Amino acid sequence: MIKHALRWTALLYLFFLLVLPVALIAWRTFGDGIAPFIESLSSPEALHAFQITFVVALWAVAINTAFGVGMAILLARHSFPGKRLLNAAIDLPLAVSPVVVGLALVLVYGRFAPVGGWLESLGLQVIFSTPGMVLATVFVSLPLVVRAVEPVLNELGTEQEQAAHTLGAGPWPTFLRITVPGIRAALAYGVVLCLARALGEYGAIAVVSGRLVGQTQTLTLFVEERFQNFREGDAFAAATALALIAVITLLVTKLLHPKHRSMDSR
Amino acid sequence: MAIQVRHINKSFGATPVLRDVSIDVKPGSLTALLGPSGGGKSTLLRVIAGLEQPDSGTVVINGVDATNLSPQRRNVGFVFQHYAAFKHMTVYDNVAFGLQIRKRPKAEIRSRVKELLHLVHLEQFATRRPAQLSGGQRQRMALARALAVEPQVLLLDEPFGALDAQVRRELRSWLRRLHDEVHVTTVFVTHDQEEAIEVADTIVVLADGIVEQAGAPHDLYDNPANPFVMRFLGPVTEIDGELVRPHDLELSTSDDQKCGPQATVTRIVRLGFEERVEMLLSGQETWAQVTRGTAHRLALSPGSTVYVKKVDDP
């Protein structure tokens, strides 16, 4: 009896929270067939939003991958003063609201701030431009690669790397041929998570981009702008596109998940 | 000398692990570093390989001061206790790794790996992954991988430590035969005195970070430098405060000759060919190891009175 009640409660809860809203968006998007959907997404503004979203996301993923692997090796393989502080700092982006992150970046890199002013004198505009958006996205997705790779590095241990050293391999060949294959699955998992987070980021991007239509407008900003301007068709089409991308990355993530993989290989 | 270790000191934090250790390893020899766990033998092996940096002292390999050389420049083969197999590579690629790093021609690598897999009896496992091998096979793969680069010295850390008793005994005599075939200077770490005596031609006893004694196995067994070495290398018992080997005790039931002190048998344990006779000698427990024939001839049983004599130099 209780089991049934719990099951129905859970199903109803998920239905009203998740299934109904998503289904409604899809229904509103495709209610008049696929033509309006394609038309909405092929406007110059929409295409530009796609482009800027992917440029920012790819830069952010590339930076976080390099940084994440380096940081994970530092945390898993070395001990140094301040390690615990660093460990805590890596998780900070999860706790801080993205809007706060955006504001903080404006305070440092804005045109009238010392660092931002200096960079601008060198010809590099950060805020209201792509570098600032990349910076904001990197910040909010900072822990994802590190936290995916670090436990696997710990589990892997150092013996294989030491064996490679005694066989004549220097640090770089050892990293490429022993360490990277060892963390491959976890790294891929972290990268996909990071990509999903980067594509969906709104709060920090909204602050640092200035929301300039056709210039710094990402897909999430596009959805919001069209919705505010009573262009619901465009908003729903872009939202559906974002949801589809999210579902695809989620599927890839499931396939790449380390636990899932290790169960297969045993 | 193939390896000269001089005045090595090494501490982990405040704990000294090696204290002024000096050893010599002859070219082509098979040397055992023997000692209780925590005695510093693995650390010494890792210092020779360059995997640990000593606090002071020098390591000379084939006349070259290697103290400040990184492990990849020392040209030593190292076999880890838990094999450290490259899990994502096949057996073939594991063995070929060192040669590929040295950018040897492909054909040469192929023939060398084939030859080594033959040597360690793993030819038919070339395409397997380490996870598909048994412990003993993994150990032999690790050995082939270390030998592939033709190291100046081969270092093995507890090579049989993680194997069960049966495989252990097989691999032991196999290693001895392999060494006679390949003739590479070999140093291995073990805490098992029987293993050291059976396999090695030189034994270095290390305890508490100090070299207690070094020499040929029979020399250490017959002429131990101190009670510790004597206790560690074989069975001992005590008579009148003196340490003796239990098989060096002669028992008799008649006191017509000068037969030494009198003791009372408390228990007799049959161990196949031998029997272990436990006795009380002036209130102290002691025991002798005798053949089954002797025990039978003396008709020993708990409660019998025997006379105990030490046999000098059999």
Q: Return the bridge partners of B61, or none.
A: B3, B64
Distance of alpha carbon B292 from alpha carbon B273, whole angstroms: 6
Quick one: pLDDT band at residue B164, thresholds 50, 70, 90? confident
**A57 compared with B314, residue with greater pLDDT:** A57
Distance of alpha carbon A77 from alpha carbon A153, whole angstroms: 8
Q: Is the pLDDT of residue B214 over 80?
A: yes
10 Å CB burial of residue A80 (0-12, 13-18, 19+) is exposed
B88 touches chain A (CB under 8 A): yes
Q: Return the bridge partners of B267, or none.
A: B278
Quick one: pLDDT band at residue B96, thresholds 50, 70, 90? very high
Closest-CA distance of chain A to residue B100, Å: 10
Report, as an integer, the average pLDDT of B99-105: 94
**Tens digits of residue pLDDT in A48-68:** 999 999 999 999 999 999 999
A27's tokens:
């229904």
- CB nearest to B88's CB, from A163, A166, A181: A181
How many alpha carbons fall within 13 Å on the CB side of residue B237? 21
**B30 compared with A114, residue with greater pLDDT:** B30
Closest residue, chain B, to A162 (C-alpha): B51
**Tens digits of residue pLDDT in A1-34:** 888 899 999 999 999 998 898 888 888 888 888 8
Q: Is the pLDDT of residue B189 over 50?
A: yes
Closest residue, chain B, to A180 (C-alpha): B88
User: Are A94 and A143 a contacting pair, CB within 8 Å?
Assistant: yes
B87 touches chain A (CB under 8 A): yes
Closest to B144 (Cα-Cα) out of A167, A81, A48: A167
Report, as an integer, the average pLDDT of B84-104: 95
- CB nearest to A168's CB, from B82, B102, B142: B102
Distance of alpha carbon B287 from alpha carbon B3, whole angstroms: 42
User: Are the Cβ atoms of A162 and B51 closer than 8 angstroms?
Assistant: yes
Lowest-confidence segment of A72-81, A201-210, B239-248 by average pLDDT: B239-248
Query: A-chain residues within 8 Å CB-CB of B51?
Result: 162, 165-166
User: Are B156 and B187 a contacting pair, CB within 8 Å?
Assistant: yes
Distance of alpha carbon A47 from alpha carbon B77, whole angstroms: 59
**B292 compared with B47, residue with greater pLDDT:** B47
- Predicted confidence at residue A143, as pLDDT, reads 93
- Predicted confidence at residue B257, as pLDDT, reads 61
User: Are the Cβ atoms of A162 and B80 closer than 8 angstroms?
Assistant: yes
Q: Is the pLDDT of residue B200 over 60?
A: yes
Quick one: pLDDT band at residue B310, thresholds 50, 70, 90? confident
Quick one: pLDDT band at residue A263, thresholds 50, 70, 90? very low
Query: B-chain residues within 8 Å CB-CB of A164?
Result: 86, 97, 101
User: Are the Cβ atoms of B78 and A182 closer than 8 angstroms?
Assistant: no
Residue A17 is classified by DSSP as I
Amino acid identity of residue A89, one-letter, is A
Q: Is the pLDDT of residue A256 over 90?
A: no
This prediction has a pTM of: 0.82
- Predicted confidence at residue A146, as pLDDT, reads 95
Q: Which of A63-77, A208-222, B156-170, B232-246 is modeled with the greatest confidence?
A: A63-77
User: Are the Cβ atoms of A163 and B88 closer than 8 angstroms?
Assistant: no
Closest-CA distance of chain B to residue A165, Å: 5
Share of chain B above pLDDT 70, in %: 97
Query: A-chain residues within 8 Å CB-CB of B145?
Result: 163, 167
**Mapped to the 3 state alphabet, what secondary structure does chain B carry?**
CCEEEEEEEEEECCEEEEEEEEEEECCCCEEEEECCCCCCHHHHHHHHHCCCCCCEEEEEECCEECCCCCHHHHCEEEECCCCCCCCCCCHHHHHHHHHHHCCCCHHHHHHHHHHHHHHCCCHHHCCCCHHHCCHHHHHHHHHHHHHCCCCCEEEECCCCCCCCHHHHHHHHHHHHHHHHHHCCEEEEEECCHHHHHHHCCEEEEEECCEEEEEECHHHHHHCCCCHHHHHHHCCCEEECCEEECHHHEEEECCCCCCCCCEEEEEEEEEECCEEEEEEEECCEEEEEEEEHHHHHHHCCCCCCEEEEEECCCC
**Tens digits of residue pLDDT in B255-273:** 666 667 888 899 989 888 8
Q: Which residue has the tokens 């391999």?
A: A169
Closest residue, chain B, to A183 (C-alpha): B88
Query: B-chain residues within 8 Å CB-CB of A165?
Result: 50-51, 70-72
Lowest-confidence segment of A160-174, B58-72, B154-168, B256-270 by average pLDDT: B256-270
Closest residue, chain B, to A185 (C-alpha): B88
Q: Is the pLDDT of residue A88 over 80?
A: yes
Closest-CA distance of chain A to residue B186, Å: 15
User: Are the Cβ atoms of A166 and B146 closer than 8 angstroms?
Assistant: yes
Q: Is the pLDDT of residue B313 over 60?
A: no
- Predicted confidence at residue A262, as pLDDT, reads 45
**Tens digits of residue pLDDT in B27-73:** 999 999 999 988 899 999 999 999 999 999 999 999 999 999 999 99
Q: Is A191 helix (H, G, I), strand (E, B) or coil?
A: helix
- The residue among B97, B109, B153 with the most chain A CBs within 10 A of its CB, best to mutate, is B97
How many alpha carbons fall within 13 Å on the CB side of residue B81? 12
- Predicted confidence at residue B31, as pLDDT, reads 96
